Structure 1
Amino acid sequence: MKNKFIVHPYMPNSVPETKKEMLNALKVEKVEDLYKDVIPKHLRFKGEMRLPDPIFSEYELKKHVEKILSKNISSSDYISFLGAGCYQHYVPAVCDEINSRSEFLTAYCGDTYSDHGKMQAIFEYCSMMAELVDMDVVSYTNYDGGQASSSSIRMALRITGRREVILPKIMHPEILSQVRDYCKHVADIKFVDYDPVTGQTDLKDLKNKISEKTAAIYLENPSYIGILEEHGQEIADMAHEHGALFIVSADPSSLGILESPANYGADIVCGDIQPLGMHMHYGGGCAGYIATPQEKKLVQEIPTYLYGITLTKVEGEYGWGRALNERCSHGSREDANEYFGTECGLWAITAGVYLALMGPRGMEELGETIIYRANYAKNLLSKIDGVKAGIFDSNHFKEFVVNFDETGKTIDEINKRLLDYGIFGGKDLSKDFPELGNSALYCVTEIIGIDEIKKLVAALKEIV
């Protein structure tokens, strides 16, 4: 079909006459003219792309895509012990039912003159999330937990007028990459070491590195490798003594049983809400949150929408709308502190449905189930010859490090063998954290049962 013009049924305005009419309206001769001043010449693709012939039949196209997708093996097919920021939690059916409703799924996030149902839904999410993290104010969703962390750090830089940020040596590598990129022109990053026995923050090293130049100390709790930090209040006190802010990224699925960072000194709490009713979606389905006390200096720097409730002229009826719009890029594109988008608002509604379903007792049961099953797995794995599970002497939530140094096998070799047993093994840490040796990060959520854990243990005994 080369050199034959194709009118694609799935591409609007691909009819030649329509395309020509649009080009004439723009006063350009060809589509390439729209890009030549935007994309540098050396970055433009030259030649003709090697694409297959188009499939016009919807049924044939469906069969073709399904054949490609069938090559994948999902976590519904195999037992998955992967986590590292994207988790397989149970998603109640009503979460999918509500977030697939047309008024939520397809409607753009309107202003106060429209979408009152959506605004109320997001307001309810913010209220329940605020209760979970024990903060006064919760923002509209960010793109993901990485952006929430990055924006929280930028908030601290603006509030303090300083450049220095202290991050943990062991933190989520993808979030670290986002922070580096997001803050590269405005921040100087220092890393605080961890205690080699507990894996928690090395307070002596932190004391040596914090200074009057420090804008913020950032902590993940639970940490990227699942460790629960027990010195939160001491870290907060150290930050505040030097005029710095204390930022904690917290997994919301842990807060039914763990103390909120707000109650051990955190000025800003942030994180990813993917565990709250969102499928993994091949790494998608993520959205971040930022929470603060109701202090003007903090609230004014939150870069996303804030939703509020107000009285109306009709007694007993309320209205919902956006508050303090001047802070964000919706209120002022050119003068805003940061730019943000609205694509993840659907996940705020989803998380709101999840929190409403679970309630305080449900979140407590969720946390208890996860911590019990993760520790059960860790204890069984530790009994395998050559395997050391939980290499740090600390409490863990959801995730823990398993070391295979004494087996003589690499994580890659072990994980490939585990596939023969219908198991996805833990994430290989050897590249990101070589000091941990031949180790993998294993994750156990509430959907991993005792039988699945025993199957993993039996498989590893045969493999190593």
Structure 2
Amino acid sequence: MYHNWIPNSDPEIKASMLKSIGKNIDDLFADIPEPIRLKKNLNVGFGKPLSEYEVLRLVDRILSKNKVFRDPPPFIGGGICASHTPSIVRLLSLRGEVYTAYTPYQPEINQGILQALFEYQSMMAELYGVDVVNASMYDGSTAVAEAFRLAMRVTGRRKILVPETMNPFHRSVANTWISPVGGVIVEYRVDGRGQPLIQDLTSKVDGETAAVYLENPSFLGNLVEEPEEIESIARSKGSLFVVFSDPVSLGVIKPPGNYGADIVVGDGQGLGLGLNYGGPGLGILGIRMDQGLLKQLPGRLVGATLDSNGNRGYALILQTREQHIRREKATSNITTNSSLMAIMGAIYISYLGWNGLRRLGESILKRTRYVVENIRKRLSGRVSIAIDTDLFFKEVPLRFHRRSYEEIHRDLLARGIHGGLWLKDLLKGYEDCSLFCFSEVHSKSDIDLLINALDEVS
């Protein structure tokens, strides 16, 4: 079909091109076996080119079939939760010099982007309590995978110890990244309160362990009460201590660098990035100051310096780690990264400030506390908290005792409520559980609406 937007679709142009190469159209498809060649025209499209207005009407008709959950916002958890994006974050990030920026290799023409990324690094390093944070990784899962690969390179070991309740999405990505280079993921057990079983962990840490990995808050939302003990166990065998933390939680809990983390990771999706159908996220990866770790750290690093006139300037540093210089020997192969997401995260934190981030964290703690108390009070015998603790941040796993969560989720949807993430095929021992998220966008009335609905359908 000819259309002036489709290159070389004019029959005269096609004929001229075929004549120039001395072929017919069948010759160009000779590598396709005859039995599977299509012998008729495809019944696609609308029989004619559509105008811009007709395309917009068609797309709107298709999009109208989607159900958008705004009142109340979705309660689905699992590491990516509904959150608020302040208008200023979207406004500033959509500026052309930010929105379309590529890797700033030429510092003389990229001072604005470089400074923004430098500020992002500085804020994240302070937030996580470490010395160096890169700018940046694709999302939380790839940050975890890179952290594991980093630990393996630095220690020369292959075993990574992770909690049995590790985020299954992160674990899947990490396993994909480390298994080709001989990496092995081994679980350590977690008790009914969501705390690592020290005896089990101690028995599994040995001279082959590259890193001990901890999530705090965990995938299931509970806080780890004595992370320093995990650090001590890792250190006793020369292993690195890797900690994943939600950056929003660090407004109210101790930064992982402050209890000995060698490598910190996180996902900045909650820093005003929105859901976006599951991505993009913002992978946070940082380290304590150590030359061995620094030389093996992947991702872009921006440094501050002085120009020939003594004025402060910014440039990419330690580029000898990267693939455009080291090629196949590079330790950093991030190429075009999620720097737009990093800048959005920096704008968000700058807008809230440290006091605002603390108040945000406190408001989420209060919400999760309210949920836990009311579930136990009103739904006893039918719905329970899957972990025996009161210390949750943002996510709460609910166990359903009388009905399948698949049925309950369907009933919630019928009431205009998007429930939690069913853990049936994701986490062993939690097949009858669903992971619910409660963030700053969920009001008290939203939470009451959910609990009332669960009271009816559970």
Verify same fold: TM over 0.5: yes
Q: Could you say what secondary structure the match of 1:52 adopts?
A: coil
Deviation at 1:227, TM superposition (A): 1.2
Tell me if structure 1 keeps the 8 A contact 2:69–2:416.
Answer: no
Structure 1: runs of 5 or more not aligned:
none
Counterpart of 1:89 in structure 2 is: 83
Moved more, 361-370 or 75-84: 75-84
Q: Could you say what secondary structure the match of 1:401 adopts?
A: strand
Moved more, 49-58 or 335-344: 49-58
Deviation at 1:310, TM superposition (A): 0.8
Q: Could you say what secondary structure the match of 1:117 adopts?
A: helix
Tell me if structure 2 keeps the 8 A contact 1:109–1:115.
Answer: no
Indicate how the Cα distance of structure 1 residues 259 and 55 shifts in structure 2: closer, same or farther if over 3 A, else same. farther
Structure 2 residue corresponding to 1:311, chosen from 306, 327, 330: 306
Counterpart of 2:207 in structure 1 is: 212
Indicate how the Cα distance of structure 1 residues 27 and 339 shifts in structure 2: closer, same or farther if over 3 A, else same. farther
Counterpart of 1:323 in structure 2 is: 317
Counterpart of 2:400 in structure 1 is: 404
Structure 2 residue corresponding to 1:191, chosen from 173, 187, 191: 187
Q: Does 1:244 align with 2:239?
A: yes
Indicate how the Cα distance of structure 1 residues 323 and 31 shifts in structure 2: closer, same or farther if over 3 A, else same. farther
User: Residue 79 of structure 1 aligns to which amino acid in structure 2?
Assistant: P
Q: Does 1:421 align with 2:420?
A: no
How far apart in 1 are the matches of 2:407 and 2:221? 24
Q: Does 1:432 align with 2:426?
A: yes
Tell me if structure 1 keeps the 8 A contact 2:72–2:446.
Answer: no
Structure 2 residue corresponding to 1:342, chosen from 318, 336, 339: 336
Q: Could you say what secondary structure the match of 2:228 adopts?
A: helix
Indicate how the Cα distance of structure 1 residues 62 and 235 shifts in structure 2: closer, same or farther if over 3 A, else same. same
Moved more, 338-347 or 319-328: 338-347
Structure 2 residue corresponding to 1:288, chosen from 262, 280, 283: 283
User: Residue 452 of structure 2 aligns to which amino acid in structure 1?
Assistant: A
User: Residue 438 of structure 1 aligns to which amino acid in structure 2?
Assistant: D
Deviation at 1:413, TM superposition (A): 0.7
How far apart in 2 are the matches of 1:23 and 1:297? 59
User: Residue 259 of structure 2 aligns to which amino acid in structure 1?
Assistant: Y
Count of residue correspondences: 448
When normalised by structure 1's length, the TM-score is 0.90
Moved more, 377-386 or 238-247: 377-386
Counterpart of 2:365 in structure 1 is: 371
Tell me if structure 2 keeps the 8 A contact 1:228–1:396.
Answer: yes
Counterpart of 2:222 in structure 1 is: 227
Structure 2 residue corresponding to 1:106, chosen from 96, 100, 103: 100
Counterpart of 2:137 in structure 1 is: 142
Deviation by residue 1:342-378 (Cα, 9 ceiling, x = unmatched): 2411001101100111111011001000010111012
Q: Could you say what secondary structure the match of 1:392 adopts?
A: coil
The two structures, once aligned, show a CA RMSD in angstroms of: 2.8
Q: Does 1:262 align with 2:257?
A: yes
User: Residue 117 of structure 1 aligns to which amino acid in structure 2?
Assistant: G
Deviation by residue 1:222-272 (Cα, 9 ceiling, x = unmatched): 111101112311111111110110101110010000101111111000111
Tell me if structure 1 keeps the 8 A contact 2:162–2:187.
Answer: yes
Indicate how the Cα distance of structure 1 residues 444 and 31 shifts in structure 2: closer, same or farther if over 3 A, else same. farther
Deviation at 1:384, TM superposition (A): 1.4
Deviation by residue 1:321-345 (Cα, 9 ceiling, x = unmatched): 1000011223323221242132411
Indicate how the Cα distance of structure 1 residues 56 and 231 shifts in structure 2: closer, same or farther if over 3 A, else same. same
Identity percentage over the alignment? Answer: 35
Counterpart of 2:114 in structure 1 is: 119
User: Residue 153 of structure 2 aligns to which amino acid in structure 1?
Assistant: R
Tell me if structure 2 keeps the 8 A contact 1:379–1:389.
Answer: no
Indicate how the Cα distance of structure 1 residues 166 and 213 shifts in structure 2: closer, same or farther if over 3 A, else same. same
How far apart in 1 are the matches of 2:141 and 2:273? 17
Deviation at 1:29, TM superposition (A): 9.6
Deviation at 1:459, TM superposition (A): 1.1
How far apart in 2 are the matches of 1:159 and 1:348? 26
Deviation by residue 1:40-98 (Cα, 9 ceiling, x = unmatched): x89xx964876434753111111211221121122325431112121211111000001
Structure 2 residue corresponding to 1:178, chosen from 168, 173, 178: 173
How far apart in 1 are the matches of 2:374 and 2:447? 8
Q: Which has the larger helix fraction? A: 2
Q: Does 1:59 align with 2:49?
A: no
Moved more, 335-344 or 443-452: 335-344
User: Residue 98 of structure 2 aligns to which amino acid in structure 1?
Assistant: F
